[in-house]
Copies of this chain bind each other. A is one copy, B any other.
Amino acid sequence: MEAPYILFLGDAPDISWAKTASGLAEWRAKDCAGQYRLDGCGVDLGLPDLGFEEAVAKGIKTMVIGIANDGGFIADKWVSHIIAALKAGLNVAAGLHERLADNKEIAETAKTSGVTLYDLRRPNIKFSPGTGVKRSGKRLLTVGTDCAVGKKYTALSIEKEMTARGVNATFCPTGQTGIMITGRGIAIDSVVADFISGAAEWLSPAASDDHWHVIEGQGALLHPAYAGVTLGLVHGSQPDAIVVCHEAGRKELVGYEGDYACPSLSDALSVHVNAARLTNPAARGVGISLNTSLLDENSARDALKRAEDELGLPSCDPLRFGAGAIVDYLEKYM
């Protein structure tokens, strides 16, 4: 995926629909040189708004579809813009369920324009069902009260902090953004259902006893749409350590308001730990990660303290205050 990038934000109403774009802007900031927004877009990543000719003139190589919708398809209103980007000479990358290459108009335009389509979500690996056999090495999995609560950022931050301390650690991405950031991993929700746990086993293979695989969680076990993905990932990951993630202040599942409340931190942690113990009886909670971006600093510190009191485990907001408290705990107890 040739850098630098212009991030396509489309008509995303808010940042929760633009996780790929905001993830790239955060973790691959030096490669993100512009953004492209449609009328009604409610997201601004603070990058220059560029037209496609302008982007090419500035040396930008690839437009990254930085947003998603329910179902992961290419929305009709995006297509003419994708076509225009291709005609201007930009490659286009996406991690949607629907492949760019499967859209005839997009595929033909890419061909005649001599540019490349990157479809990053669809795995080219042939997986098997999970074996359930215990692997060597240590594993940490981030889990959530809901989708889009910071599971990826938490895992990235923990890996970064471990690496800074000289701990042998590898981040394992399970979604399109993580794959775009690191260039490896597997979009676990795009695997055939029978192979979720097998794909998760593949993602964090046997390793040396002092090595940590830090695995990005997906979905949530108490979510009416995505819990199947989560459970297969939990079982296949065989986590020793589980960090529960939440957005401070969120009361209901995003997109399911009125029908589904967010579980408490302790309910969310215990349902994931109990599930994990099927394949790793030693699985336990090791920390809480709160996204406190909606709170001022004092309120954020209060929320973190309340979370620590509720669960008796260290808490952090990894983007705001770092993931040190959780890594301290791991170094002391695991």
Q: Which of A25-33, A127-135, A161-169 contacts B (4 or more CB under 8 A)?
A: A127-135
Q: Which of A36-44, A50-58, A177-185, A222-230 contacts B (4 or more CB under 8 A)?
A: A222-230
Q: How far is the CA of A59 from the CA of B235 in the complex (A)?
A: 48
Task: Tell me if A334 is interfacial: C-beta within 8 Å of chain B.
Answer: no
Min CB gap A91→B, angstroms: 25
Contact A132/B260 with A192-B189, A193-B193 known, Cβ cut-off 8 Å = yes
Contact of A191 among B131, B132, B188, B192 (CB under 8 A): B192
Q: How far is the CA of A278 from the CA of B146 in the complex (A)?
A: 13
Residue of B nearest to A198 (CB): B225
Q: How far is the CA of A188 from the CA of B70 in the complex (A)?
A: 20
CB–CB A228/B196 < 8 A:
yes
CB–CB A228/B232 < 8 A:
yes
Contact A132/B228 with A190-B192, A193-B192, A194-B189 known, Cβ cut-off 8 Å = no
Task: Tell me if A71 is interfacial: C-beta within 8 Å of chain B.
Answer: yes
* A97 surroundings in chain B (CB, below 8 A): 192, 194
Task: Tell me if A72 is interfacial: C-beta within 8 Å of chain B.
Answer: yes
Min CB gap A231→B, angstroms: 5
Question: How many chain-A residues does the 8 Å CB contact rule pick out?
Answer: 39
One complex includes copies of this chain to the number of 2
CB–CB A229/B132 < 8 A:
no
Task: Tell me if A279 is interfacial: C-beta within 8 Å of chain B.
Answer: yes
CB–CB B192/A130 < 8 A:
no
Contact A197/B225 with A129-B71, A132-B260, A259-B132 known, Cβ cut-off 8 Å = yes
Residue of B nearest to A222 (CB): B278
Q: How far is the CA of A189 from the CA of B222 in the complex (A)?
A: 20
Q: How far is the CA of A259 from the CA of B130 in the complex (A)?
A: 13
Min CB gap A217→B, angstroms: 13
CB–CB B189/A193 < 8 A:
yes
CB–CB A70/B192 < 8 A:
no
Task: Tell me if A329 is interfacial: C-beta within 8 Å of chain B.
Answer: no
* A131 surroundings in chain B (CB, below 8 A): 224-225
Task: Tell me if A78 is interfacial: C-beta within 8 Å of chain B.
Answer: no
Min CB gap A184→B, angstroms: 19
CB–CB A71/B128 < 8 A:
yes
Q: How far is the CA of A231 from the CA of B131 in the complex (A)?
A: 18
Q: How far is the CA of A70 from the CA of B129 in the complex (A)?
A: 7
Taking CB atoms and an 8 Å cut-off, the chain A residues in 253-280 that contact chain B are 256, 259-260, 275, 278-279
CB–CB B193/A130 < 8 A:
no
Min CB gap A227→B, angstroms: 5
Name the 9 nearest CB pairs between A and B, nearest first.
A228-B232, A132-B224, A129-B225, A189-B194, A130-B225, A196-B228, A228-B228, A231-B231, A193-B229
30 contacts between A and B (CB under 8 A): A70-B128, A70-B129, A71-B128, A72-B194, A129-B225, A130-B224, A132-B225, A132-B260, A133-B259, A189-B192, A190-B192, A190-B193, A190-B194, A191-B193, A192-B192, A193-B193, A193-B229, A196-B228, A197-B226, A197-B228, A224-B278, A225-B235, A227-B231, A227-B235, A227-B275, A228-B230, A228-B231, A228-B232, A229-B232, A260-B278
